[in-house]
Amino acid sequence: MAGLVLAVETSCDETAAAVVADGREVRSSVVSSQIDLHAHFGGVVPELAGRAHLERIVPVVAEALGAAGLAGAPAPPVDAVAATVGPGLIGALLVGVSFAKALAMAWGVPFVGVNHLEGHLYASLLEDPKIGLPAVVVLVSGGHSLIVKMTGPRAYEVLGETVDDAAGEAFDKVARYLGLSYPGGPAIEQAAAQGDGGAIAFPRPMLREGLDLSFSGLKTAVVHYVRAHPEVANADVAASFQAAVVEILVTKALRAARLTAARSICLAGGVAANGPLREAFRAAAAKAGLGVYLPSRAMCTDNAAMIGAVAHFQLAAEGPTALGAGAEPGLGFPGARAR
């Protein structure tokens, strides 16, 4: 079983590499963000992302190996090399996948192709191995929103998912409509800090029913409101929109925990970096007598440490990924509906 895994992550706009020991201990984690490169265009430009990954992958991997004390170590310096195979942008994914396969081949160690979404889910366990299981994990990123019951490493059951937009996508779209900077999540959070979350009663779609999520109607309601009230302060719109997302996610997490007798609730994915959302999860869990696990902000957004953690358990359970397997831009979460 692999002890040391070198993992790379290039699914979107972060070039990342990490060395993880036994799926538990992060020896190094390097993230080179391309936010500055894409901000000017208001979103990720796939061709630019692919080229930037290509330029950065060698120094980022070298830095991760160096920070783990493996610079100049006799080959192979690690027991396996992992990469995110999907979901993500094809040109971006291919850089990491090809690079990881080449290293694995050169070093004569296994290659492990990892699902990016499993990586996000794993962030809580990686930082807090004593997490109370089963746990309900609310995975909210730029492309996906899922509610998953986790009973152990790689033991998941999808309880609910978005029927339209992802939570992060709603943040990004509302931010763009309000003329805020990219990425939208942090920009909305910052604007909302000056506003009143109770100023505008935006709808909370599907709040009272089930465990699925919906954000498209909320986003449209924001656009209609701002069109009808051009004088409204951006801060109040941002705060009221954020309050709606927070209420939806907390309500669904508690409902999921109740229905599955879970012991704790967790957040994962880029949107989990949101301060008011984290606070609301903390407060709701305390009130309901549940454990709560909130990955550090660095672990919420894209990184390679979470990929290295999954790779360890995946390799033990399923063995290496064939070198002939390619990138899978449309890969979904195991057991989730295809969108």
Q: Tell me which of 10, 115, 141, 234 binds Zn ion, using CB under 5 A.
A: 141
Q: Tell me which of 84, 115, 240, 274 binds ligand KG4, using CB under 6 A.
A: 274
Q: Tell me which of 91, 110, 119, 184 binds ligand KG4, using CB under 6 A.
A: 184
> Longest C-alpha distance within the chain, in Å?
66
Closer to ligand KG4 by Cβ: residue 189 or 236: 189
Q: Which residues 31-60 are close enough to bind ligand KG4 by CB under 6 A?
A: none
Q: Rounded distance, CA 269 to CA 12, Å?
A: 13
Is the backbone of residue 74 left (phi > 0), alpha (psi -120 to 50) or beta? beta
264 binds, among Zn ion, ligand KG4, none (CB under 5 to 8 A by kind): none
Answer yes or no whether residue 9 interacts with ligand KG4 by CB under 6 A. no
For the CB of residue 223, give the shortest distance to ligand KG4 in the complex, in Å: 17
Q: Tell me which of 127, 165, 236, 302 binds Zn ion, using CB under 5 A.
A: 302
* DSSP characters over 87-155: SS-HHHHHHHHHHHHHHHHHHT--EEEEEHHHHHHHHHHHH-TT--SSEEEEEE-SS-EEEEEEEETTE
Q: Rounded distance, CA 119 to CA 126, Å?
A: 10
Q: What is the DSSP letter of 13?
A: S
183 binds, among Zn ion, ligand KG4, none (CB under 5 to 8 A by kind): ligand KG4
Closer to Zn ion by Cβ: residue 169 or 236: 169
Closer to ligand KG4 by Cβ: residue 9 or 70: 9
φ/ψ of 303, rounded to 5, equals -155, 165
* DSSP characters over 223-286: HHHHHH-TTS-HHHHHHHHHHHHHHHHHHHHHHHHHHHT-SEEEEESGGGG-HHHHHHHHHHHH
Q: Which residues contact 80 (CB under 8 A, 6 or more apart)?
A: 2, 4, 5, 6, 104, 109, 110, 111, 112, 311, 312, 315, 320
Q: Tell me which of 82, 302, 321, 327 binds ligand KG4, using CB under 6 A.
A: 302
For the CB of residue 171, give the shortest distance to ligand KG4 in the complex, in Å: 4
For the CB of residue 176, give the shortest distance to ligand KG4 in the complex, in Å: 10
For the CB of residue 45, give the shortest distance to ligand KG4 in the complex, in Å: 15
Q: Which residues 127-156 are close enough to bind ligand KG4 by CB under 6 A?
A: 141-143
Closer to Zn ion by Cβ: residue 125 or 285: 125
What single letter denotes the amino acid at residue 176? R
Mark the segment that binds ligand KG4 (CB under 6 A) among 96-104, 122-130, 164-172, 197-205. Answer: 164-172
Answer yes or no whether residue 189 interacts with ligand KG4 by CB under 6 A. yes
21 SS3 class: strand
Answer yes or no whether residue 119 interacts with ligand KG4 by CB under 6 A. no
Q: Which two tokens stand for residue 263?
A: 């012991």
Closer to ligand KG4 by Cβ: residue 23 or 186: 186
Mark the segment that binds ligand KG4 (CB under 6 A) among 33-41, 74-82, 179-187, 304-312. Answer: 179-187
Q: Rounded distance, CA 132 to CA 290, Å?
A: 9
Neighbours of 22 (CB within 10 A): 14
Q: Tell me which of 159, 213, 273, 304 binds ligand KG4, using CB under 6 A.
A: 273
Q: Which of 244, 224, 241 is nearest to 175 (CA)?
A: 241
Q: Which stretches of the chain bind ligand KG4, using CB under 6 A?
A: 12, 141-143, 168, 171-172, 183-186, 189, 269-271, 273-274, 301-302
